[in-house]
Amino acid sequence: MKVLVIGSGGREHALVWKIAQSPLAEKIYCAPGNPGTAQFAESVPLAAHDIAGLKKFALEKKIGLTVVGPEVPLVAGIADEFAAAGLKVFGPGRQGAQIEGSKVFSKNFMTKYDIPTAQSGTFRRLDEAVAYVKEMGAPIVVKADGLAAGKGVVVCRTEKEAIEALKLIMEKKEFGAAGDQVVVEEFLDGEEASILALTDGISILPLASAQDHKRVQDGDMGPNTGGMGAYSPAPIVTDHLMSEIDVTVLKPFIDGMRQEGISYKGVIYAGIMVTKKGPKVLEFNCRFGDPETQPIMMRMKSDLVPIMEAIIDEKLDGKMIEWHEQAAVCVVLAAGGYPGKYEKGIPITGLDRIDQLENVMVFHAGTKEESGKIVSAGGRVLGVTARGDSIKFAIKKAYQAVDLISFKGMHYRKDIGKKALKYER
Ligand code: AMP
Ligand code: GLY
C-alpha cells in the first residue's frame, strides 16, 4: 500500500519513521516533508493546506492511507474531502476538528458533556470580557477562539495583563478573525500532562502518556512555545489517574461526539492539568502532539498502520498497542531568537555523528537541504529523541546526542525530563 503523510515537522518525521517500519507500507510520500522524512518518504512539493492539490495527488497515486499531521488542514475539512473522494484518511472531519479549531466550541462541548475543565466565560465584546476579568480577578487566562499557531493563549498574572491581552486580541486583531471571540478562564494550578488517544468514533485506545515543556527557558520560565521537549511515560499519570481521565474525559468526549452526530476518527489529544481537585482539560487538539509524538513513536512496538486502518474502518474495538517498557525523551533544538524572530539557512553540523548512537533518533522539524547540506529552516529545528531504561538514562542519552550537534544560535532547554525524576527511584 502507498501511504501519504501530510506535514513537515518533527511529528511527521516520527510518523514517517514509524510507518516505514510497517511491512504494509510499500511506498511512502510526505507532503511537503523535510530532509528527515526524505530518508524514508518521497517528498511532494505540496503545502499541508493545499487540500485540492493533495486530493488530486492522492487520487493519481492511488494512495491507500493518508495521515494528516497538522491541525490547519483538519480544521479546513481535508478529511471530509478525502473521504468523499473515496480516499482512506486518518484524522477527524471538519466538524470534529472544531474541538481544536474553536475554543468556544470546545468549552461549550466540555460543559455540555460534563468534562472537567476551568470555569470560563465566552465573549464577543471587549467591555464584557474586561468586566468578567474584574469580577474573577487574577491570575486569569485569556484565549483567542480560533487557531493562532499555539500563540493565542495568554496566562496573565494581573488584571492589567489580562486587559492588555484582550485588547491585543479583540481590538488590535493580533490573530485576525481567530480573535472575534475570546474565552476567559480560571487559572488552574498543577502539573501538565498530554494524553493522546486513538479513536474510531466508537472505541477509544489511549497512547502512552507524555509531558511537554511549553516554556522556552529552564524551570518553565519565559514565553510559551510550540514545545521545547517531551518525555514518555509521564510518571505523574499513574494507572489510577489514567483510569480517572478515561472515565471523566475520554469516554465522555467520544460519547459526546456521537451524540452530536459527529463520527470522530483519528487522534484526540487532551492537554490535562493535574490539579488538587483532579484532572482538568486545558484544551483538546484534533491531532498528534508535537513534540510528544516523537518520544511516543520511539516507544511504540506495535505496527501503527493496521491500527490506523482499523480506525478508518471503525474496527478499533479490541485492538491493543504494545509499548517498550523503556522511557523516551526528546530535546528540541531551536533557532536563536525562537519563539520570537529567528534567522534561517544556518548550516547544521554533527548530524552524521548520531548514527553511532543506539536508540537515538534526530527528528527533523525546521530543516531543509541546500546544495547537499542540511540548514535550519524554522524555529524548532531538530528533536533529539532517545530511549533508555529509565527517564534518567533517556535524558542522559538525549543530551549526549545533543552535544554532537551544533549550529549558530542554537538553544535548548537543559532540564527536559527533570520534573519526572522526582517520581523515579
Ligand atoms: P492551550 O493551548 O489552551 O493548551 O494553552 C497553552 C498553555 O497555556 C497550556 O499548555 C498551559 O500551560 C497554559 N494554560 C492554558 N489554560 C490554562 C489555565 N486555565 N490555567 C493555567 N494554565 C493554562
Ligand atoms: N506540544 C503541544 C502541541 O502539540 O500542541
| Of 273, 287, 292, best ligand 1 pocket probe by most atoms within 8 Å of the beta carbon | 273
Question: Ligand 2 centroid vs 291 CA: distance in angstroms?
Answer: 7
Could you identify the atom of ligand 2 that is nearest to the CA of residue 283? 5
Which DSSP helix (H) or strand (E) runs through 409?
none
Residue ranges, the chain, pLDDT below 50 = none
In this structure, which residue's CA is closest to atom 13 in ligand 1? 155
Bridge partners for 329 per DSSP: 231, 386
Identify the CATH homologous superfamily for domain 125-180.
Answer: ATP-grasp fold, A domain (3.30.1490.20)
| Of 74, 292, 296, 332, best ligand 2 pocket probe by most atoms within 8 Å of the beta carbon | 292
At 328 the pLDDT is 98
In this structure, which residue's CA is closest to atom 16 in ligand 1? 282
Question: Ligand 2 centroid vs 226 CA: distance in angstroms?
Answer: 6
At 210 the pLDDT is 97
In this structure, which residue's CA is closest to atom 5 in ligand 1? 153
In this structure, which residue's CA is closest to atom 1 in ligand 2? 290
Give the ligand with the smallest distance to the CA of 211.
Answer: 2
Q: CA 390 → CA 86, 143, 393, 420, distances in Å?
A: 44, 36, 5, 10
At 336 the pLDDT is 96
In this structure, which residue's CA is closest to atom 6 in ligand 1? 153
Give the ligand with the smallest distance to the CA of 285.
Answer: 2
| Of 100, 155, 290, best ligand 1 pocket probe by most atoms within 8 Å of the beta carbon | 155
Cell digits for 303?
A: 505496527
The ranges assigned to domains in the chain are 2-94, 125-180, 191-312, 327-423
At which residue does the C-alpha cell 536563536 appear?
Answer: 336
Each residue of 58-75: pLDDT tens digit?
999 999 999 999 999 999
Instruction: Tell me the CATH number for domain 191-312.
Output: 3.30.470.20
Q: Is 33 helix (H, G, I), strand (E, B) or coil?
A: coil
Assign domain 2-94 to its CATH architecture.
3-Layer(aba) Sandwich (3.40)
Give the ligand with the smallest distance to the CA of 142.
Answer: 1
Whether residue 65 has its Cβ less than 6 Å from ligand 1: no
Cell digits for 196?
A: 493522546
In this structure, which residue's CA is closest to atom 8 in ligand 1? 153
| Of 110, 119, 141, best ligand 1 pocket probe by most atoms within 8 Å of the beta carbon | 141
Residues 6+ apart with CB under 8 A from 292: 194, 196, 210, 211, 212, 227, 230, 232, 269
Whether residue 100 has its Cβ less than 6 Å from ligand 2: no
Could you identify the atom of ligand 1 that is nearest to the CA of residue 103? 3
Give the ligand with the smallest distance to the CA of 294.
Answer: 2
Between β-strands 89-90 and 65-68, what pairing exists: parallel, antiparallel or unpaired?
parallel
Give the ligand with the smallest distance to the CA of 9.
Answer: 2
CATH (one of 3.40.449.10, 3.40.50.300, 3.90.600.10, 2.40.50.140) for 327-423: 3.90.600.10
Q: CA 167 → CA 22, 47, 142, distances in Å?
A: 50, 33, 11
Compute the half-sphere exposure of residue 29: CA atoms within 13 Å on the CB side of its CA.
Answer: 22
The rounded distance, in Å, linking the Cα atoms of 218 and 190 is 17
Q: CA 73 → CA 26, 54, 180, distances in Å?
A: 25, 10, 21
